[in-house]
Structure 1
């Protein structure tokens, strides 16, 4: 019996598809929920609180699926680029997304409906773990942007670094505890920017593998 060898050239494109799909899946699922679930306000609430309520399983699934897709993308990038730290850090971000789905954020500021206004009066153990996992994952994503940049063309390297800086600024804003609509919307924009970076980088590397 003969077997067909699987080379980086044949396996990387399928893995990198995870990086192309992760962002649209996460953003569109979050957007649809935010527009249809009563009480949710994009100027006050992060996507994490969507994991609460009777339809919370949708956001939990969103976290887990996008986490798996991100890990697949990290494996694909590892097979294309020579550096190891970038893919490893991106995989850490993928794991953090899965953990964010397992450990729910606490209800806050009127969502789900019936929740008191403002931040939660006390933070649950799963809310604490959600914040810790998110902090680790976001830091890993920023570092991955810089690590992967060192193996890209100059223009794409700058795009990668700028994405890392802007995402760090967005995360720092919400981590400060500010409830300003500008800060909350800024973080939403930073999330979209980061997913766009992963998608475009994955497409670029997919083209490289078939060139």
Structure 2
């Protein structure tokens, strides 16, 4: 009788382990973490993809409504000046934060291999730099905003220096990420993405240099450089997000 009771108790315990709460955690830890991270990673990559569209959509609207703004003479950064300048400043910060979130999603998506750590880290530097650039403003000049001196500022304020330094640090980090991930794409046989990344890394600095030369259309050149580089990050984020969902 005791032997039958022990066997019955064993069967009941096995049933509990099979169907009860104690079996909920029997999934392998790595698989469980991957399943939990998948939706989160997809959302983070989507945030990174929205960085460039948000930045340029708001900038284009402000270009059209801000009195005195001329894209040939004024960089997008000067939209942070004047009465409505707070809008573009906020967009700098928001775009940087979105890129920073995207860098976390990119780290989750690039599982091992070349650039899986340094690439997302460079994107994070870019995001932080953009956010910092939004917290400081350039000096007014070239008659914008209305009432500003007609020429370029004779000296650079601390705010303008920090703004410029943060933006160019962000831009250089993004260019470095282009070349770093181009090597990864080359090793994985993705020739299209390799060529696209190299072209972006080469052309964007050339456009910045062209916009910095005297008499150039500074806003057009630098805007094109930003559209090229920031757009690369958005497309890369979307591509990595699509890879996660198809895996």
TM-score bucket (shorter structure)? over 0.9
Matches within 5 A, 1:84-123: 84-123=117-156
Deviations 1:107-151 (A, max 9, x none): 121110011122112211100111111121111110011112233
- Cα distance in 2 for partners of 1:66, 1:108 equals 25
Which range moves more in the overlay, 82-91 or 31-40?
Answer: 82-91
- Cα distance in 2 for partners of 1:178, 1:31 equals 24
2:226 aligns with 191
Unpaired runs of 5+ in structure 1? none
1:159 pairs with one of 186, 196, 200 = 196
Normalised TM-score (structure 1)? 0.92
Deviating 4+ runs (over 3 angstroms): 1-8
State which structure, 1 or 2, has the greater radius of gyration over its C-alpha atoms.
Answer: 2
- SS of the residue 1:150 aligns to: helix
Bigger RCO of structures 1 and 2 (CA < 8 A, at least 6 apart): 1
How far is the alpha carbon of 1:180 from its aligned partner?
A: 1.2
Matches within 5 A, 1:122-137: 122-137=155-170
2:245 aligns with 210
User: Residues 151 and 12 (structure 1 numbering): CA distance in 2 closer, same or farther, change over 3 Å?
Assistant: farther
Contact 2:76–2:219, Cα closer than 8 Å, also in 1: no
How far is the alpha carbon of 1:197 from its aligned partner?
A: 1.1
1:170 aligns with 207
1:80 aligns with 109
How far is the alpha carbon of 1:177 from its aligned partner?
A: 4.6
May I ask how many residue pairs the two structures share in their alignment?
209
1:69 pairs with 2:98 = yes
RMSD over aligned CA atoms reads: 1.8
Normalised TM-score (structure 2)? 0.79
